[in-house]
Amino acid sequence: MRQKGWKAGEAPAGCKQPAACPLSQVQAGTSVRIKRLTLPPDVLRRLREIGFCEERKIRLLMRQNSVICEVCNTRFGLNRKLAEAILVEPLPVPVRDQAA
């Protein structure tokens, strides 16, 4: 069974940082929070204009040659190079109440 996301303090396989990881290494279906954008100023400005900014919650919908993310209820496609420059952290998985 494939595990979505990663545990707090643990990064996906191949990620060198425990708390933040490039968006390009996150599994599809995972919700994350953007922690840092490591891009040239002109690209950084454009990404922020469309909603990719620090502390924004996003969801990775698909990861192949490029990635598709949902940001502010809008889907965006990013090439792998851009996705590698967006560092993210996992969001806590909500716990469902078992008592009904």
> For the purposes of burial, counting CB atoms within 10 Å of the CB of 17, is it exposed (0-12), middle (13-18) or buried (19 or more)?
exposed
Q: What residues are paired with 45 via a beta bridge?
A: none
Q: Give the total number of structural domains in the chain.
A: 1
Tens digits of per-residue pLDDT, 72-90?
Answer: 999 999 999 999 999 999 8
Tell the residue number behind the tokens 């840092």, with chain if given.
36
Q: Hey, CA dihedral for 43, 44, 49, 51, is it positive or negative?
A: positive
- Reported as a pLDDT band with limits 50, 70 and 90, residue 13 is low
| Chain centre distance of CA 96 | 23
Residue 65 lies in a domain: yes
Residue 6 lies in a domain: no
CATH code assigned at 47: 2.30.30.90
Residue 37 lies in a domain: yes
Amino acid 60: pLDDT: 95
Residue 33's domain comprises 21-90
Tens digits of per-residue pLDDT, 15-70?
Answer: 656 678 999 999 999 999 999 999 999 999 999 999 999 999 999 999 988 999 99
Residue 5 lies in a domain: no
Residue 99 lies in a domain: no
First to last CA, the chain: 27
